[in-house]
Structure 1
Amino acid sequence: MRKILIVLVPALAIVAGGAAAWMQRDGTVQTPQPEAGGTELVELPNQFVVPLTRGDDIAGLIAVSLAVEVAEGHSEATLAQEPRLRDAFLQVLFDHARSGGFAGDFTGGTSMGELRAHLALTAREVGGPALKSVLITNLARQDF
């Protein structure tokens, strides 16, 4: 009987642990491991200036500095696409301002998270998968 318990107890513990892990899973899917190689940051040289409007009047300005995180070795190609990136980023920033994204507590997690997500999606649409993310490196608001 003792020999059976020596084998049965660890086997039951493994099964119980697996069952507990299966019941507590949250439905998330494991993402693949990051690609080999690092990333580089490409600072976009000029600020983005976005008007804040109230009706037909300009009520203030937002100045934003951005950097793009790219796969290692893609800095030059990203800088070559800077005019296209700036145009696309400006459109995202204008849309964000028009939808009220810079009103009230605009630095809250939800508003900034949505802005970062839209900027990153736009970066990948313009520059391809080598563009990993967009960092907001400086943000200033001036109300009139």
Structure 2
Amino acid sequence: MRKLLPVLLSLAAFMGGAAGGEMLRRPAAPVEAAAGAPEQGHDATAASPDTAKGGAEHAELPASAQDSPQADHAAPAGHGGTGAEGGTAGGHGASGDVPAIAWFEFPQQFLVPVLHDGRLDSTMILSLSLEMPGTARETVHAHEIKLRDALLRQLLIHANTGGFDGNFTSEAHLRKLRADLTAVAQGVIPGITAVLIGDIGRQER
């Protein structure tokens, strides 16, 4: 009996342990199932990867890009119209504006003989230009020959009255010459404002 007692105790302990393990194993299944239920519910309600990705991209877009389609469509149209109007206005101003002041230079010099006692003493050589409003440029070009004739007549009068004698380059002499030439030019085209002397020289005989 003493020899069987340890064997019986071991067997009883083994049976008790097996029974306890079985009892512990049975409630574990519902616990695991219960623990797994929220995960299944979460998986069922979670958005798909593509949907989540799309949502993230939408959240990262700037506020202006999330506006209504009508606003997105109206912005490029307005921008394009403004640019076209701005370009048209700028081009018209660059090519259509008339300068306030313009100049015309006679392509050929004026040769004025200076006579003394009926003999050719020297020849005056002058380069003249006209100052005018920009709107009179075409008129001056159209009347170039008439203007040249009128100015040459006045230069001959100036030479025959002693205007090119002595110190003809003094300011007083040149001021009178400019004033006389301007008055003659304005008789042809009133819009001319001044006659400018570019070069003046005397060639002795």
| Structure in which a larger fraction of residues adopt helix | 2
The aligned residue for residue 119 of structure 1 is: 181
The aligned residue for residue 139 of structure 1 is: 200
Give structure 1 stretches of 5+ with no counterpart: 1-36
Q: Which has the larger radius of gyration?
A: 2
Structure 1 runs of 4+ with >6 Å offset: none
Supply the AA of the counterpart residue of 1:38.
A
Give the RMSD, CA atoms, in angstroms.
1.0
The sequence identity of aligned pairs, in percent, is 35
Describe how 1:29-68 pairs up with structure 2 within 5 A.
38-68=100-130
Structure 2: how far apart are the matches of 1:131 and 1:141? 27
Give structure 2 stretches of 5+ with no counterpart: 1-98
Structure 2: how far apart are the matches of 1:110 and 1:100? 14
Query: Once the 2 structures are TM-superposed, how far is the Cα of residue 73 of structure 1 from its aligned partner?
Result: 2.3
The aligned residue for residue 92 of structure 1 is: 154
| Structure in which a larger fraction of residues adopt strand | 1
> TM-score, normalised on structure 2?
0.51
Q: Could you say what secondary structure the match of 1:131 adopts?
A: coil
Structure 1: how far apart are the matches of 2:200 and 2:114? 14
Deviations 1:83-107 (A, max 9, x none): 1101110111000000111111000
> TM-score, normalised on structure 1?
0.72
